[in-house]
Amino acid sequence: MKKANLLRSAIVALGALGIAGTAQAQDIYTMADELNAQLEAAGKDYRVAMAETITDGDSNEVGTTILFRNLGNRQLAADFVPGDPRRVWGGPGTGISFAVDNINLTADLAGTTELSEIRAAMATWENERCSTLPLVDFGNTGIDVGLVQRQFGFGGTGGIAADVQHAGFLPPNFFLRLGSANILGVTFTFVWVSGGAPTDVDNNGKTDTAFREIYYNDGFTWEVDPNDVPGDGRFDLQTVALHEAGHALSQAHFGTGRINNQTGRIQLSPQAVMNAGYIFGQQTLLGTDTAGHCSNWASWPNN
């Protein structure tokens, strides 16, 4: 195991320890089972494997990582295989592609602001100098993408536009069915399977990612405010997009949460974009975010 992978494992382990288990509605497991059964029946060789949520820190509820059943998958980690020919929606060469759903928009932000804020978040990860990861922008989807939203009855074509699709803003009821109204955003990871089991064709000890879907909760009030403070009832979109994009690029949650006795609010430490709760605006990466990203991507595409 490379040193970078060891660091990565340590970060994953720490993150997993720090995540408080929150009660999840049975809905989400049923949805995943049904979706996977449909994918199997349709002859597709990908399945939804996990969902990672971030919550409003003011709710005193910490986001979590949900592993779905029936994949025989004990590994938390999944990542993309460089130049994977199975990803027909992938970027050219060893690039990772992304697209932004411009159909499920929020009324909170004017014009195309939300699309540019999401793209700014992607650029922040791409600009990390340790990695030579080319993120390729496939543009706006022009159609309502999203397999999970379709499965829950929230529209969507089920189309896959890119390796990473920001699948838009959905009403609070979608997030209630994921387990909590306090979820700001969620990233679903789909993985490749063969004979019903997840594949690891590059033998790096991680399940191979097929694509990822990101959703944002339109029940919250979104804004552009890099200096957003807790308790004002508004949330900086780029901060949440940066967090979700971290998941999209294979990062797990990081840090532990505890209640601050003075404020009565949850406090996450060490501070990181990849904390499982949103406390304030954070449009730049912090130390552990960069470390996690670099351990994943520094050797790309030769890992």
- Judged by the rule CB under 5 A, the positions of this chain that interact with Zn ion are 52, 54
Task: In whole angstroms, give the CA distance from residue 35 to residue 56.
Answer: 28
Between residues 54 and 133, which has the closer beta carbon with respect to Zn ion?
54
Between residues 96 and 252, which has the closer beta carbon with respect to Zn ion?
252
What length does the chain have?
Answer: 303
Between residues 52 and 101, which has the closer beta carbon with respect to Zn ion?
52
N-terminal to C-terminal alpha carbon distance within the chain:
11
Q: How far is the CB of 215 from Zn ion (least distance, A)?
A: 12
Q: How far is the CB of 55 from Zn ion (least distance, A)?
A: 9
Q: How far is the CB of 251 from Zn ion (least distance, A)?
A: 9
229 exposed, middle or buried (CB, 10 Å; 0-12, 13-18, 19+)?
A: exposed
Q: How far is the CB of 247 from Zn ion (least distance, A)?
A: 5
Task: In whole angstroms, give the CA distance from residue 166 to residue 42.
Answer: 24
- Find the residue with minimal CB distance to Zn ion: 54
Between residues 98 and 188, which has the closer beta carbon with respect to Zn ion?
188
Between residues 109 and 252, which has the closer beta carbon with respect to Zn ion?
252
Q: How far is the CB of 81 from Zn ion (least distance, A)?
A: 23
Query: Are the CB atoms for 133 and 175 separated by under 8 Å?
Result: no
Query: Are the CB atoms for 122 and 245 separated by under 8 Å?
Result: yes
What is the enclosing helix (H) or strand (E) of 174? Answer: helix 172-178
